[in-house]
């Protein structure tokens, strides 16, 4: 049994946990959008609201989904927004392309449908623009169509298509991974092209928040150095991080389990290194732009071989993978990082929202089930919009960190405070040992709600056959003296306690 003591540093608040840190990502990739979110207008077999699955919409609303990025990913740099407006019959059938896959794309989901989905689930929209095969004018037109309030041919077209009111989309990605699938730009040519796009987009809508595409190391340094004179053209700097070193989705051993968790933890180093680079190239009289981690999550080799080994494990390639307790813990570790780094991180999007990669929700025909990651996210709801508070962990035991030399305690935690109270989320990262935790902080006098996510094994998952094998359960928290609480956490589990 691991013994740990936690203390909340309520005297040293970190900053606000923006709802945008709990964003999601829906790409036209395999069964994420088509045959996932979207079953089509007039579908009589699967209940839907305007073409979007009702069961999925309901689950997403209660996850929740504060922000949603669309239509890619790599897909964005092939996407022509004008194909997706007008009557369904008038929309062209295109070759949809992302990440080496080609699909028939009837453009059933276009801008109006995506905005309708955002309204249904309560998400802020984030549109990723095409800089790979599009033009500056095309992206300016999409921005005008979406946000302009004056009378133009494009805003008339928007009204004719059902929306007199502008969509008011604030977040606009200027390309996606333009160092790779988005055109293989080098940093200098992307920096120049970015300026051209951003200048023109600013003219169309000065309030749009523009997301510049970043990568790693020297690429980032070069882009930020070249564009430091044009600081006013950038609002967010996009980076992506997938965790690919955990071996198989369920067939992993203990070392590989810890390796994946350490890789998730290492995301913090990536964020702080990027923040330092941004700071270095920000003019002294300006505030550094913030980081948009607009793709993050676990990527197992079954989804698509990538990283060590590169063997094909599942054919045809589907980008689908099992979602286990281990993946949920990895997500929880990332959320701890996001809270700690909320002053430099402006937004984050889990990749992806349905069926592919680190999905919280899965569908198969008429069936739908939730992965442990869904519940991990739901456990974090009280932190959204609250003030992050540091947590001191007293514990001599660290978990093994494999190839990622990042120290972490067996029990880790994140906490926040809002007008209705204080919430603490704890993770017991140990593969097979339970932990007993003492939480002592003045003012935590009454437990309002306590829930736990646990499974028999780190490999435990939900499935079409057993959709409820893993779900949230109530947790007993016992008073252990004045202002002190005792929490028992099984191995590989996560819990949230809300105090009045």
Nearest approach, Cβ of residue 199 and ligand AHR (Å): 25
Q: For residues 79 and 485, which CB has a smaller minimum distance to ligand AHR in the complex?
A: 79
Q: Does 27 bind ligand AHR (CB under 6 A)?
A: yes
The region of 68-76, 322-330, 388-396, 434-442 touching ligand AHR under the rule CB under 6 A is 68-76
Q: For residues 28 and 383, which CB has a smaller minimum distance to ligand AHR in the complex?
A: 28
Distances 184 to 296, 305, 356 between C-alpha atoms, Å: 21, 21, 25
* DSSP structural state of residue 273: H
Q: Does 101 bind ligand AHR (CB under 6 A)?
A: no
Q: Does 320 bind ligand AHR (CB under 6 A)?
A: no
Q: Is 368 helix (H, G, I), strand (E, B) or coil?
A: strand
Tokens 């990669």 sit at which residue?
357
Nearest approach, Cβ of residue 41 and ligand AHR (Å): 26
CA 31 to chain centre: 18
The answer to whether the beta carbons of residues 375 and 472 sit under 8 Å apart is yes
Structural element, H or E, at residue 111: helix 111-121
Supply 91's token pair: 């929309």
Q: Does 72 bind ligand AHR (CB under 6 A)?
A: yes
Nearest approach, Cβ of residue 295 and ligand AHR (Å): 5
Rounded to a whole number of angstroms, the distance between the first and last alpha carbons of the chain is 29
Q: For residues 23 and 73, which CB has a smaller minimum distance to ligand AHR in the complex?
A: 73
Cα 140–80–94 angle (5° rounding)?
170
Residues between 291 and 310 that touch ligand AHR (CB under 6 A): 295
Backbone angles phi, psi at 24, to 5 degrees: -130, 175
Pick one of 57, 74, 140, 477: the residue that binds ligand AHR (CB under 6 A).
74
> What are the residue numbers of the active site?
177, 295
d(CA 52, CA 23): 19
Strands 48-49 and 23-25: unpaired
Q: Does 349 bind ligand AHR (CB under 6 A)?
A: no
Residues between 418 and 457 that touch ligand AHR (CB under 6 A): none
Total number of residues binding ligand AHR (CB under 6 A)? 13
Q: Residues with Cβ < 8 Å from 87, sequence gap 6 or more?
A: none
Q: For residues 130 and 176, which CB has a smaller minimum distance to ligand AHR in the complex?
A: 176
Residues between 173 and 202 that touch ligand AHR (CB under 6 A): 176-177
Supply 330's token pair: 């990895």
Q: Which residue is nearest to ligand AHR (CB)?
A: 73
| Interacting residue ranges for ligand AHR, rule: CB under 6 A | 27, 29, 72-74, 98-99, 176-177, 295, 351-352, 357
């Amino acid at each position: 049994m691991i013994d740990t003591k936690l203390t909340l540093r309520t005297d040293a608040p970190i900053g606000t946990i923006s709802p945008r840190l709990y964003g999601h990502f829906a790409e036209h990739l395999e069964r994420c959008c088509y045959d996932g979110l979207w079953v089509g207008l007039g579908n009589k077999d699967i209940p839907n609201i305007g073409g979007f699955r009702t069961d999925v919409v309901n689950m997403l609303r209660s996850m929740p989904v504060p922000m949603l990025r669309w239509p890619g990913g790599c897909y964005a740099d092939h996407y022509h927004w004008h194909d997706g407006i007008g009557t369904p019959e008038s929309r062209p059938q295109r070759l949809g392309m992302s990440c080496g896959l080609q699909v028939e794309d009837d453009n059933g989901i276009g801008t109006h449908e995506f905005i309708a989905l955002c309204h249904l689930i309560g998400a802020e929209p984030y549109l990723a623009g095409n800089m790979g095969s599009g033009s500056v004018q095309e992206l300016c037109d999409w921005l005008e169509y979406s946000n302009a309030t004056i009378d133009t041919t494009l805003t008339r077209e928007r009204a004719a298509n059902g929306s007199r009111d502008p969509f008011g989309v604030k977040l606009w990605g200027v390309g996606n991974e333009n160092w790779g699938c988005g055109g293989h730009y080098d940093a200098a040519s992307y920096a120049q092209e970015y300026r051209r796009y951003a200048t023109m987009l600013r003219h169309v809508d000065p309030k749009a928040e523009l997301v510049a595409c970043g990568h790693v190391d020297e690429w980032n340094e070069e882009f930020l150095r070249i564009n430091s004179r044009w600081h006013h053209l950038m609002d967010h700097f996009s980076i992506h991080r997938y965790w690919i070193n955990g071996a198989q989705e369920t067939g992993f051993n203990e070392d590989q389990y810890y390796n994946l968790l350490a890789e998730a933890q290492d995301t913090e180093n990536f964020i702080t290194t990027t923040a330092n680079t941004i700071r270095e190239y920000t003019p002294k009289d300006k505030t550094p732009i913030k980081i948009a981690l607009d793709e993050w999550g676990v990527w197992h080799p079954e989804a698509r071989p990538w990283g060590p080994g590169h063997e094909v494990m599942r054919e045809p390639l589907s980008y689908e993978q099992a979602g286990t307790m281990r993946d949920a813990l990895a997500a929880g570790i990332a959320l701890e990082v996001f809270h700690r780094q909320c002053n430099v991180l402006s937004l984050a999007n889990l990749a992806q929202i349905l069926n592919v990669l680190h999905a919280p929700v899965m569908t198969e025909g008429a069936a739908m089930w939730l992965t442990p990651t869904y519940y991990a996210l739901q456990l974090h709801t009280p932190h959204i919009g609250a003030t992050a508070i540091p947590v001191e962990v007293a514990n001599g035991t660290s978990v093994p960190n494999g190839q990622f030399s990042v120290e972490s305690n067996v029990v880790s935690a994140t906490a926040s405070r809002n007008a209705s109270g204080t919430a603490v989320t704890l993770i017991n990262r140990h593969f097979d040992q339970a932990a007993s935790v003492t939480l002592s902080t003045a003012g935590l006098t009454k437990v309002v709600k306590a829930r736990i996510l646990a499974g028999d094994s780190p490999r435990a998952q939900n499935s079409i056959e057993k959709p409820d094998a893993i779900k949230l359960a109530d947790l007993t928290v016992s008073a252990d003296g004045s202002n002190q609480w005792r929490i028992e956490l099984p191995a590989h589990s996560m819990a949230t306690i809300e105090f009045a």
